[in-house]
Structure 1
């Protein structure tokens, strides 16, 4: 049994049924077994949307506390999964901030996370396409993405010195598994007090929201 077959076998049967349109091509870049299992778990949610909330208590994120949030698997391909992150907002048209999309890509060296930030007219924000690549194999449920050189240069240019040691984390349980959850987290290597974390209940889908801005 190769590592891809082993990873698929570990998924719940209900999750396997969802993978038909999301599994990667056999010709795509090979991943370590743990990253392959993570990719399959992430991809198993293709097309779904889930409600969530801020679960961390950092005072720097107080404006997001208690706000409704939705994660929507808006696009899936053999090598890319785009999850739109929608946040309820009284300041935006329609009552929602639809500016953020998390994009996870398979690369020859592992997995990559990028943040696609747009304005309501679809144009790119000055701070966009930042993120990082995996430096370790991670686990079947958790992958960490330390800030990459492109993002460091972007943050320096935009005066965002606090972000120069960002580490983003994505957690995904296979669809259909008991207590399935999806989570996104930010920490900083030079600031042990920094924690931003949102969690989504992946056991129950909600209606898919409108497309994220620019998508």
Structure 2
């Protein structure tokens, strides 16, 4: 059922894009454009990160944390997040015409979809050129409840982009974690995340 919902979601996005037509203008507002373009400017580069906030302690252990702004178009940015040798996570940031959407593509090491994948959220306001927030959407809330982690229905993901730093933050009642990536010192790019070529 979870896989079906994930595929249904992706299918609906595809149908809506076809309905708009290839020549339809990509509608967006200045703060979303500025935020999206600031991340896109780093396309092709990888950066190492460090945990700056973690109120439950050592979520990622001692693993090396790397984000790789790997693939960019005018409407989508794919950012694999490597945790040591674990290449299961890819953040997907998409312009939808109604704002920005953040999804977490989780894969198994054979490339198949993880049972919990494509959760995330959509902007609900203009945000800022440097900071955008993505409260958990309806699909994600249903997935979290089905998976027995109802506390995650209150998740809000944030991304922050400044000249020298990119940050990924998860916050909900009694939970906060943030990883900061050093944009001034690119590192070697990573291999493809699981499920990608």
TM-score, scaled to structure 1: 0.78
**Residue 121 of structure 2 is aligned with which of 113, 118, 132?**
132
Name the structure 2 match of 1:49: 46
Counterpart in 1 of 2:167? 183
Task: For residue 63 of structure 1, report the CA deviation from its aligned partner.
Answer: 4.2
Distance 2:23 2:71 in 1: 20
Written as runs of structure 1 = structure 2, the 5 A alignment for 1:186-197 is: 186-188=170-172, 191=173, 193-197=174-178
Q: Equivalent residue for 1:69?
A: 65
1:83 aligns with 2:67: no
CA distance in 2, matches of 1:166, 1:181: 23
- Give the whole-Å Cα distance in 1 for the aligned partners of 2:113 and 2:144: 15
Give the secondary-structure state (helix, strand or coil) at the position aligned to 2:53.
coil
The residue number in structure 1 matching 2:184 is 203
* CA deviation map 1:176-206 (0-9, x unaligned): x4xx111100011xx1x31011010001110
Partner of 1:165: 154
Given that 1:28 and 1:78 are in contact with CA atoms closer than 8 Å, whether structure 2 keeps it comes out as no
| 1:151 equivalent among 126, 129, 140 | 140
The residue number in structure 2 matching 1:110 is 99
If the length of structure 2 is used for normalisation, what is the TM-score? 0.84
Secondary structure, aligned partner of 2:188:
coil
Runs (5+) with no aligned partner, structure 1 = 1-24, 89-95
Segments ≥4 residues shifted beyond 3 Å: 25-28
Q: Which residue of 1 aligns with 2:86?
A: 97
Question: Matched residues in 2 for 1:131 and 1:57: separation?
Answer: 20
Give the RMSD, CA atoms, in angstroms.
1.6
1:29 paired with 2:26, answer yes
For residue 30 of structure 1, report the CA deviation from its aligned partner. 1.9
Distance 2:141 2:48 in 1: 31
Deviations 1:64-113 (A, max 9, x none): 1443111001111111001000011xxxxxxx111100000000100000
Distance in 2 of aligned mates of 1:110 and 1:155: 23
In 2, Cα distance between equivalents of 1:113 and 1:45? 18
Gaps of at least 5 residues in structure 2 are: 1-21
SS at match of 1:150: helix
Once residues 105 and 67 of structure 1 are traced to their aligned partners in structure 2, the CA distance between those partners, rounded to angstroms, is: 28
Please say if residues 155 and 164 of structure 1, whose CA atoms lie closer than 8 Å, have aligned partners that are also in contact. Answer: yes
How far apart, in 2, do the equivalents of 1:57 and 1:43 lie?
A: 27
CA distance in 2, matches of 1:121, 1:146: 30
